[in-house]
Structure 1
Amino acid sequence: MGLSARRHARTSTRFLSRTLIVNIWRLLAIVLLVWGEFGIYFWSLSSCKWPTTAFQSTEKPTHVLLLADTQLEHPSAYRNEATWSDLFYRLTYELYLRRSWRVTMQMKPDAVFFLGDMLASGKNMNSEEEYKRYFEAFRQTFSFDSNVNVYYIPGNNDVGMGVTRPLSKHIRKSFYQTFGPFNQQVVIRNYTFVLLDAPGLVDEDYTRAAQRIPYDKWVPLSGGPVEFVKTLYTDDSPVILLSHVPLWRKDTAACGPRREKGNIHKGVGHGYQNTLQKHTSDFLIENLQPSIIFSGDNRDTCEYIHKVVSGHVPADVALIPEITVKSFSPSKHIRRPGIQLLSLVDPDPTARFHRSMAHDLCLLPDQNFIHWRLYAGFAYFTLLVMGLFNIRRRRQLSPHALLTPLSPHLSLARIPSPHPSLVTAAWTSYAPPSPTSPRGSLPGTIRTPNASSGPTFRSASRPGTPYHTTAPLLSPIPYQHEEAEDDSLYPSQYAKTRPHLREEETWSPEHLDHIDDSENGSRVMSPFLPPSGPHKRRPWSWTWNFVFRGRMRRITIHAPSVSWDAFKDLMALLGDGVSADMKLRQRGIIRSTMIDLVSVAWVFVVTWTIMAWWSF
């Protein structure tokens, strides 16, 4: 391979070197992580706005945020038998809750209602102290400003329900001491929010049904939800009912276009119940006559219209919408969690209530999409790109493309040979100046085998090997900064190599400058003199001279170089060189591809760890 071909090969591979490709992919991994861990959360809620389209009033509305099923895991739950995969899942799960909550708080609500199941395993706590520590972990994850009013209603995972009721007496006491009352009445913009203890209502309904006593003749339990509903006074203001458990409906009832799959079906199990009983639902609607109902527990959203006959005329039917709020936490039942936004203004007595109220659903990011499509897809794509790149590099490499240097001052270059099995090498000698040298001639000359005078040396021919080449070799000449400075045989002005030639390139006649002697007309070939050419303009610089400790000092600042040569030098730092090509030959394509993948993966892991630590 000739000199120009070698230069072209080095230039082309420099811009597509392994180091450059790996660094680009590391940068892409960091950008992808920033998007997947932070940017996608803001992007998901960027299109969410507080609904105001149904309002007829120009006054500023009150913004109410509704959340269901935050399902915070206990910090020490299943710690003993948890595997590494379980610990990683719980870490990503809590990171999702924290980041979703921080983005949600950017909506700046005036009031927040949690619709039950704030804790994933609150009913399993063994003492009041343990429950309080669990609550503190919840408050650290779901922190909010002091000017935001926050209200809670109990869920079946918070206090237990059904067969777990006898075991949860201290749990209910702990819930009351931490989260607040089980049943509440809150007034916002002349709307009465009725916060119902749905697990307690289910338990009281079991007791009532076991005695076969209808609600109109049932004596409510003291402090229970039935007593709360019967004694509630709303002052004719519109009622918004909040219940953790959805109200009864037929199994075939549709849930609207926003539900991901299926419907809400009746079902009862250990510590849960999908819907309230029909008699219980009728009791609530008849006594409260709510304008709208918000429920949770089902994880997916559902929009259902309760049709209630409000008078003796069959045609007089009241339509009461119920919105089952999406889970705030990730779940296998849904792809994207969500939140519910509610805007309120003072209701107009002369108009229908819904004219002063508007609500909408906002979706949060899909955690499975982030992990299994975004990150895993990037890993597969990186593996593909690195594999194709290594295949391309391997095809470009040939046994004659590598240049093996012999020493810092002596290297070999391959040139065409008359016979491939023979190698002829010639050494040139340096002739020091002699007293008989012509006046005005150079202090020394480089003698070659074709010179008319001076000693020449020629080696015998020998069989060639892959590690020997057929180019003429120069004797090593010391650099100026070495011991040649004091050697009279090597004047310093001839001990400089040409800057535009590389260390591994061999001096050959086509590389030497032909210099004319003005006095005797002789031509002297010297590779050590800088090439002649037009004078280049010196770059801008600023110099400041000052005296410090009795000595003159100078500070010079030069303008940064933005030339093409500087850019090529920067790209050269990212080059691989011959060593990387040799490693590719030794390792093979598959092993080199896996090493490249790991070199990108460790940057990904370290960056993700830093982001996770910062989120906490």
Structure 2
Amino acid sequence: MGLAARRSSRASSRLFSRTLIVNVLRLLAVVVLIWGEFGVYHWSVGSCTWPTPSEATTSEKPSHILLLSDTQLRNPLLHKTWSDYFSHLTYTLYLKRSWHVATRLKPNVVLFLGDQLASGRNVVSQSEYQQYYETFLQTFPLEENVDALYVVGNLDVGMGLTHHKQARNAFSKTFGALNQQVVIHNHTFVLLDAPGLVDEDYTRSARGIDYNDWKPLRDGPVEFVKNVYTDNPLILFTHIPLWRADTSSCGLLRERGTIKMGVGHGSQHLLQHHTTNFLIDNLQPSIIFSGDNRDYCEHVHKRSVSGRGPDNVAVIPEITVKSFSPSRHIRRPGFQLLSLTNPNPTREFDNSFAHDLCLLPDPGFIYWTLYTRFACFIVLLLTLFNMRKRQLLSPHHFLAPLQSHFPTADIPASHPSLITAAWSPYAPPTPTSPLSSLPGAMRTPNAFSGPTFRSASRPETPRQPKPLLSPMPPYPDQEGEEDLLYSPPYASKTHMYETWSADHLEHLEESENGPRVVTPIHSSNNSRKGWALSFTFVFRGRRHRMAIRAPWVSREALKDLIGFLGDGVAGDVKFKRRGILRSTIMDFASVAWVFVGIWTVMAWWSL
């Protein structure tokens, strides 16, 4: 085999090294994992900024309210099987990382729009509810300077047939009062107990009494609404959205469908029509924020109210906030940003607030699209790599260059020309080979042969038969006798024969006694030093100059590194024994365990 063919074969074996390919895929897997677990969250909210109200001035600092709906934290005590535990783990990790990127926006107040707990209505004891509440605080930790407000939801305390008085008492002791009136930045926040309002509405409707004649229940939502009075702009927060027609549109930001009236086990999609009119007439809100529906919806309520707008028609927008937790009803969860500034008392309709939607990453994209497609990509790449490596280790890959350089005709042993022989240090040629039986003929390597060498033999006489070439020891550190005739950089001693490369023929020149070696003169100056950063400075009256040069990595150093990562002969032998399918599975497992191990550490650290 020629020198160029040997170099190409050697470079291909290093390039298609299993260790090198697997380590590169491991590094790529770590990058994909970091992106899927952290980077995609920061990228999703990277464009989210707090909106600016039109009434805001340059000297005034608005108040920022973070609105979250349907966090629905699962109870860890209810998951017993491994599949339930893994589902609960990925669900909780999504909530924690979404909360981390949401709070990086530095809100002043965080307001939860109900359904904080996924199974709060099923808790039967105060101690269990308290433990559930502490888990919620660990999942959504708050800084000391950030206040939190909680709206009650039907999953927190139940509703209708799932109404539990004990759960309502536990909620009021942990999260706060069921009905609240809070003033923030000269705006009145009304936090309504919507599940209690639905229960009281069913009781009132069953007796056939109108809201004007109805005697409210003590400490109930109807009594609370009738006692609300404020001169500030009022913002209503309710878990259950207000009534609207089934054909009403929810705007372009909704993923699909609309909100329609419906009743389920312990749930109701909308408040009743007359209950909606009762709230608008008594509260006269400037804007309404609701939850429960999981998807975003923007609707405008029009109600005839004295002293509000032209023709006494009040136009009240309602924003149904997207679910903060993953759900099968939506592809991308989200949250709402609300900014408040001081209202202008001289204007009848103020623009002292502004809100905007912020979307979170798609959990299906992370765990199914990103990770699954990356796994398929690794399997495909490893399959192609093993097929290519199998082709490189086949005997035809080494035999073709040999047949192209040497004829198969017999060469006399006494021929004075140079005789070239190919041999394998890993599997010596057998005497039963058909080519080895010919005198002076070429020996072909077997399937496990490594790089071949081209050697020049000295002329011999037929009376002194001698083997064409003695086997070279496969290890470079094997002891041998030094040859002081030739310089080591240009010749390597192999018993009594010397190996020359074509690149060093230019150092031979003819003389009277035959060719002799011309040793080149190496210059100490390296012209390829790379870029350098130099600067001068004055210290103690003397000018000094300092240069920082970039490290130069030679081509030979990179080759040595690739060779160090190579598998060697033993790896090739194991590869041929395993086959392509088994090797691909083992290579994929060696990449997957790094991915799974790092993910486990990251999950444990996040929890």
| TM-score between the two structures when normalised by the length of structure 2 | 0.80
What residue is the counterpart of 2:76 in the other structure? 75
Give the superposition deviation at 1:32: 0.8
1:501 positional shift = 7.4
Which string of whole-angstrom CA distances, capped at 9 and with x for unpartnered residues, describes residues 72-107 of structure 1? Answer: 01121132xx3x332211111000000110111101
Structure 2 CA distance, aligned partners of 1:299 and 1:570? 54
Q: Give, as a single letter, the amino acid of the residue that structure 2 aligns with 1:292.
A: I
Q: How many angstroms apart in 2 are the aligned matches of 1:294 and 1:337?
A: 17
In the alignment, the residues of structure 1 paired with residue 202 and residue 306 of structure 2 have an alpha-carbon distance, to the nearest angstrom, of 30
- Amino acid across the alignment from 2:73: L
- Alpha carbons of structure 1 residues 379 and 493: separation in structure 2 relative to 1, 3 Å: same
SS at the partner of 2:259?
Answer: coil
SS class of match (1:343): strand
CA distance in 2, matches of 1:531, 1:65: 81
Match of 2:300 among 305, 311, 314: 305
What aligned pairs does 1:411-422 form with structure 2 within 5 A after superposition? Answer: 420=435, 422=437
Equivalent positions of 1:131-150 (< 5 A) are 131-150=129-148
In the TM superposition, what is the alpha-carbon distance from 1:26 to its structure 2 partner?
1.3
Contact 2:211 2:278 in 1 (8 A): yes
Give the corresponding residue for 2:532.
none
Q: Distance in 2 between matches of 1:248 and 1:135?
A: 31
1:242 aligns with one of 234, 237, 245: 237
Relative to structure 1, is the Cα distance of residues 476 and 184 closer, same or farther in structure 2, using a 3 angstrom cutoff? closer
2:555 is aligned, of 524, 546, 564, to 564
SS of residue paired to 2:114? coil
Contact 2:289 2:320 in 1 (8 A): yes
Aligned equivalent of 2:201: 205
| Counterpart mapping for 1:324-473 below 5 A | 324-399=320-395, 401=397, 420=435, 422=437, 450=459, 458=466, 472-473=469-470
- Residue 114 (structure 1) aligned to one of 94, 112, 122: 112
Closer, same or farther: CA 401–472 of 1 in aligned 2, 3 Å: farther
CA distance in 2, matches of 1:495, 1:349: 104
The answer to whether 1:603 aligns with 2:594 is: yes
Quote the residue 1:23 is aligned against: 23
Paired AA for residue 127 in structure 1? S
Q: Partners in 2 of 1:480 and 1:421 — Cα distance?
A: 29
Q: Which residue of 2 aligns with 1:615?
A: 606
The equivalent of 1:261 in structure 2 is: 256
Identify the residue that residue 520 of structure 2 maps to in structure 1. 533
Are 2:65 and 1:64 aligned? yes
Distance in 2 (alpha carbons) for counterparts of 1:272 and 1:291:
27
CA distance in 1, matches of 2:316, 2:570: 76
Distance in 1 (CA, whole Å) between partners of 2:312 and 2:373 is 57
Query: 1:265, CA displacement in angstroms?
Result: 1.0
Alignment partner of 1:577 out of 538, 563, 568: 568
The residue identity in structure 2 corresponding to 1:273 is Q
* Distance of aligned partners of 1:96 and 1:507 in 2 relative to their CA distance in 1, 3 Å threshold: farther
Distance across 2 between alignment mates of 1:472 and 1:576? 28
Name the SS for the 2:46 alignment partner: coil
Residues 414-468 of structure 1, C-alpha deviations (whole Å, 9 max, x = no match): 9xx9x62615589xxxxxxxxxxxxxxxxxxxx9774689x95636xxxxxxxxx
> Which residue of structure 1 lines up, in the alignment, with residue 89 of structure 2?
91
Contact 2:298 2:320 in 1 (8 A): yes
Partners of 2:562 and 2:524 lie apart in 1 by: 25
Matched, 1:180 2:195: no
Distance 2:496 2:30 in 1: 46
86 and 587 in structure 1: CA distance in 2 versus 1, 3 angstrom threshold: same
Letter in 2 for 1:326: K
Which residue number corresponds to residue 553 of structure 1? none
Aligned residues: 539
Distance 2:61 2:278 in 1: 35
Secondary structure of 2:303 counterpart: strand
- CA 1:563–1:229: 2 relative to 1, 3 Å: same
1:587 to 563, 575, 578: 578
* C-alpha distance in structure 2 between counterparts of 1:475 and 1:298, whole Å: 79
Distance 1:531 1:353, change over 3 A: farther
SS at match of 1:322: strand
The alignment status of 1:281 with 2:276, answered yes or no, reads yes
* Change in 2 beyond 3 A, CA 1:205/1:531: farther
Counterpart residue type for residue 123 of structure 2: M
Counterparts in 2 of 1:582 and 1:495: CA distance versus 1, 3 Å: farther
Q: How far apart are the structure 2 equivalents of 1:383 and 1:479?
A: 37
Counterpart in 1 of 2:165?
169
Conservation of the 8 A alpha-carbon contact between 2:107 and 2:146: yes
After TM superposition, give the deviation of residue 382 of structure 1 in Å: 1.4
Query: Do the aligned residues in 2 keep the contact of 1:6 with 1:401 (CA within 8 Å)?
Result: no
In structure 2, relative to structure 1, the CA distance for the partners of 1:452 and 1:60 (3 Å cut) is same
Change (3 A) 1:477 1:237: closer
The aligned amino acid for 1:601 is: A
Query: Match for 1:9: what amino acid?
Result: S
What are the Cα deviations for residues 504-557 of structure 1, in whole angstroms up to 9, with x where unaligned?
x8974553999x9xxx986799xxxx99332453999xxxxxxxxxxxxxxxxx
Query: RMSD of the alignment, in Å?
Result: 3.6
CA contact (8 A) 1:480 1:496 kept: no
Structure 2 CA distance, aligned partners of 1:591 and 1:110? 57
Q: What is the identity percentage for the equivalent residue pairs of Structure 1 and Structure 2? A: 54
For structure 2, the residue ranges without an aligned partner over 5 or more in a row are 399-421, 442-455, 530-549
Contact 2:491 2:498 in 1 (8 A): no
Q: 1:188 to 1:475 in 2, by over 3 A?
A: closer
Once residues 211 and 479 of structure 1 are traced to their aligned partners in structure 2, the CA distance between those partners, rounded to angstroms, is 101
Q: 1:129 to 1:570 in 2, by over 3 A?
A: same
